[in-house]
């Protein structure tokens, strides 16, 4: 009887581990889908232009921008793709 309980406990532990892995996998797929949707939106914004980009385009920048902070003599930003930048004088 004890051997059966041990097998059942191990089976439950394995099942919980499989559930955790499945949840992690689903989150990863969701994250990839969100990233693809963001890039599709950016491409749509860029492709909707009639001419080449010759100067700063706020609409395109905002499509890429996730966060922006300005400080007294500097600024920093994070793009939706994860790239970060700092500037200022």
pLDDT at 11: 67
Q: If residue 29 lies in a helix (H) or strand (E), which one and from where to where?
A: helix 2-47
In DSSP terms, 84 is beta-bridged to 78
Extended strands (E) in 1-89: 65-70, 74-79, 84-88
Indicate if 43 and 24 belong to the same structural domain: yes
Indicate if 43 and 56 belong to the same structural domain: no
pLDDT at 43: 79
Indicate if 70 and 88 belong to the same structural domain: yes
Indicate if 41 and 59 belong to the same structural domain: no
Is there a contact between 75 and 85 (Cβ–Cβ < 8 Å)?
no
- Counting the structural domains of the chain, the total is 2
Indicate if 1 and 44 belong to the same structural domain: yes
Q: What is the pLDDT along the chain (89 residues), one digit of tens a residue?
A: 577 666 667 766 777 887 888 888 888 888 888 878 877 887 787 777 777 777 887 877 777 777 877 878 888 888 777 778 888 76
């Amino acid at each position: 009887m004890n051997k059966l309980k041990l097998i059942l406990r191990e089976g439950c532990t394995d099942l919980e581990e499989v559930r955790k892995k499945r949840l992690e996998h689903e989150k990863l797929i969701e994250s990839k889908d969100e990233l693809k949707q963001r890039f599709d939106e950016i491409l749509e914004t860029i492709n909707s232009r009639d001419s080449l980009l010759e100067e700063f385009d706020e609409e395109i920048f905002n499509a890429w921008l996730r966060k922006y902070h300005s400080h007294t003599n500097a600024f920093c930003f994070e793009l939706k793709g994860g790239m970060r930048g700092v500037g200022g004088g």
